[in-house]
Every structure is written in structure tokens, then in C-alpha cells.
Amino acid sequence: MPQVVETACVAVGVAIALAAFLLRRRWQGRPPLRVGVGTVASFEIDFTASLVLSGLIFAMAGLYLHSQDYRAKSLELARAQGQVSELRSELELFKKYEVNVALNFPESVDIRNLTTETWKKTRHDTTFRQDPAATQLGRTSASNVLAVRVQSLSPGDRVFFSTRETVANRERRRWRSETLEVPVAALAMRE
């Protein structure tokens, strides 16, 4: 809607100035217009010139309104781009990551006798909670190193593993890993 007003102001202003210029011979005998307040700030202007001046003022008002509308839109766009940038950085915090972890035991272990639990603590939790998903252990080339894949981690989450070795329905040994914190990192790429 403001664009219609701007265009109308410019069009009316140019039309008034053009009409005054084209019909100046018809209005040649008119007395000049006295403009002002009292005798201190008054002046006389030709009728045709006053119409041309009025038309130019109208056209300039339309251009001024257009520039103000453009300025307001550019400020709004800059603010929106700032909000998008802020939302993108916040969205990074909610991305879910998958991490592969190597559990390094002090000696050889038999994967068939092990039960491993994953314990997680998000940035909003006060204590660690056991991950309800079953922790799957995988073999590696070393007999004392097993691989674990942990899913659905967010930056800032912390995780540790608790492993029990059970032989003949009796717990033989228990291990607890160090705590791993999922990093909050933005890495710069170089060529």
C-alpha cells in the first residue's frame, strides 16, 4: 500500500508541473501569488512557477516516502537476518550426534561375557541417567579394546560406560569408563 502512495505522489507531482509548464501561456496574465506571514517573511511568486514548484514538491515527497520505506525495509531485513543467524546458532545446540567410542580394557576380555550400560547426562540434567537403548559392543583388532556406538547425543552431553563381566551367572568384574563430553565446536575450514 505505501508503494501506491509513493507512486501516486510522484505521478501527481509530475502531472501538476507538466500541466503548469504546458499551460503557462493561458495563465500568463494572472497576478503573482503573495506567500508569507506579515511583511517580514513574504514574497511574490508567479502563478505558473508556483504550480511547477508545487508539482516538484509533491514529486519529491513521493521520492522521500519511497526512500523511507526502503530504509525501513532494509532495517527490517537486517534484523531478520540477525534473528536467522541467532536461530541457526541455537539450532546447532539441538543437533543430534552419533559417536563411536573405543573402550580400552586393562586386559583381554570375552565380549560374550560382557554387559555394558550407557549412562548419559544432558546439559539440562542434574544427574546421569541410564540410556534405555541396549548398548551394542563391537570387536576391534585388539583383544582388550571394544567399540561402542552412542546415538542421539547433543553438544554438551556427557556419557560414560559401565561394563560387567558375568561368568556362570556370577558377576566377576566391573569396569567404569572415563566421562566423555560431546564437544561444542565450530571448526574453521582452510584450503
* In contact, 149 and 116? CB cutoff 8 Å: no
Which tens digit of pLDDT belongs to each residue from 108-128? 888 888 888 999 998 888 999
Q: Look at residue 98 and tell me whether its pLDDT is greater than 70.
A: yes
Q: How confident is the model at residue 2 (pLDDT cuts 50, 70, 90)?
A: low
pLDDT at 39: 66
What CA–CA distance (Å, rounded) separates 159 from 166?
23
Which tens digit of pLDDT belongs to each residue from 132-157? 876 788 888 888 888 888 888 888 88
pLDDT at 73: 87
Which tens digit of pLDDT belongs to each residue from 45-90? 777 777 888 888 878 888 888 888 888 888 999 999 989 888 887 7
